[in-house]
Amino acid sequence: MHLLCYRDWVSIRPIHLALVCLLAIGGLTSLLAQSFKLLDGQTVDGQPLSFTKDGVAFRDGSGSQGERVAYTNFTQQSLRDLLKHPKVKRPFIDPFLELVVEEPTNRVGRPKYDLIPHERLNRPDPKGGLSKLATSSVGLFFLMLLFAANLYSAYEVGIFRNYSPLLVLGIAFVAPVITQIIFLCLPTHVPKMVAEEVDATGTHVPMFATSGGAPSTQTSGRSGEHSGGGGQSSAPAGLPVYKRGEFTFNKRFFETKMSGFFGMRPSDAEKGLVFHIKSNKGQLLCNRVVRVTPAEATLQVLRGATIEELGVPFTDMVEIEIRQNS
């Protein structure tokens, strides 16, 4: 009996093996010959034969290798299906796969945020103009700064042009900006004094050349003062002394009163004369006016045996005295 069973098993085994092989080959063929969907909606049916960096080639109906299809033409699902093929090389397909970020399923403990509506600031009217600046505190602050700067500039312009600063400031209070422009266009105000009404266009006649001196000038001679031995006065009579308050020291003053000291050589009337200047920075003995600007006079100063040029601002001059050169 055992011998009979062994013979039956031996006779049936090849048939079983053939059936199993056919089923395996059919299943493998169906697996390898699946369809792959493209992005344009078409499908590619066949078994993948060759994988390169340029794409994948499939077996066509005749059994030969067909055209190669680029990886960019496949859908994401088709690319994942291609990864299951035993001949595939992952470095060729991985760059074309999209990363899928899965949200955590466990949401227990996550805080819930409630959006609370808030009041938004109203945008200014673009057609409102400068008048809308006064409707906010920030705009009003900047308007006050501009007004204060207007008054300060008006005050400085009044000082610069030698007008009354309060007068310019008061006009600028009513007419801002335009006031400063007008006063800057005007020439510098030079007050005319009675002692300075001299015809600057006429021939220069130095007033201190006469013995009587000029009207409104203070002579440097002291005729009633003598030393203990009956000495003479400290300086000859008739040489004037110009003091601040009685005269305004400016460019016009030097061009009229001191014109004889201009030039390389003094005029005949000023020969043997020098002028002594008392200033806020000291005393200077000068013999020549080199040049005069609206702000200062450049003088030739005698310092012992040396001579140097020095610029002296008109605002520093206190007194100018004409003397004999000793």
DSSP summary character for residue 46: S
Q: Is the pLDDT of residue 220 over 50?
A: no
Block residue for tokens 């040396």: 306
Q: Which of 50-59, 138-147, 265-274 has the highest mean pLDDT?
A: 138-147
| pLDDT at residue number 229 | 40
Counting residues of the chain whose pLDDT is more than 90, the rounded percentage is 19
Rounded Cα gap, residues 71 and 55, in angstroms: 5
0.75 exceeded by pTM:
no
Closest CA to 39 of 70, 67, 68, 60: 70
- CB within 8 A of 165, min separation 6: which ones? 154, 155, 156, 158, 159
| pLDDT at residue number 10 | 47
* Three-state DSSP state, 184: helix
Q: Are 219 and 239 in contact (CB under 8 A)?
A: yes
Helix/strand/coil (H/E/C) assignment for every residue in 266-286: CCHHHCCEEEEEEECCEEEEE
* Three-state DSSP state, 264: coil
| pLDDT at residue number 15 | 60
Task: Specify the amino acid at residue 179.
Answer: T
Q: Is the pLDDT of residue 4 over 80?
A: no
When pLDDT is cut at 50, 70 and 90, the band that residue 46 belongs to is confident
Q: Is the pLDDT of residue 66 over 90?
A: no
When pLDDT is cut at 50, 70 and 90, the band that residue 103 belongs to is low
Written as one string, the DSSP assignment of 186-205 is SPPP----GGG---TTS---
pLDDT tens per residue across span 270-323 = 778 889 999 988 899 998 899 999 989 999 998 888 889 999 999 999 999 998
| pLDDT at residue number 51 | 84
Task: Specify the amino acid at residue 70.
Answer: A
When pLDDT is cut at 50, 70 and 90, the band that residue 155 belongs to is very high
Task: Specify the amino acid at residue 114.
Answer: D
Rounded Cα gap, residues 134 and 126, in angstroms: 14
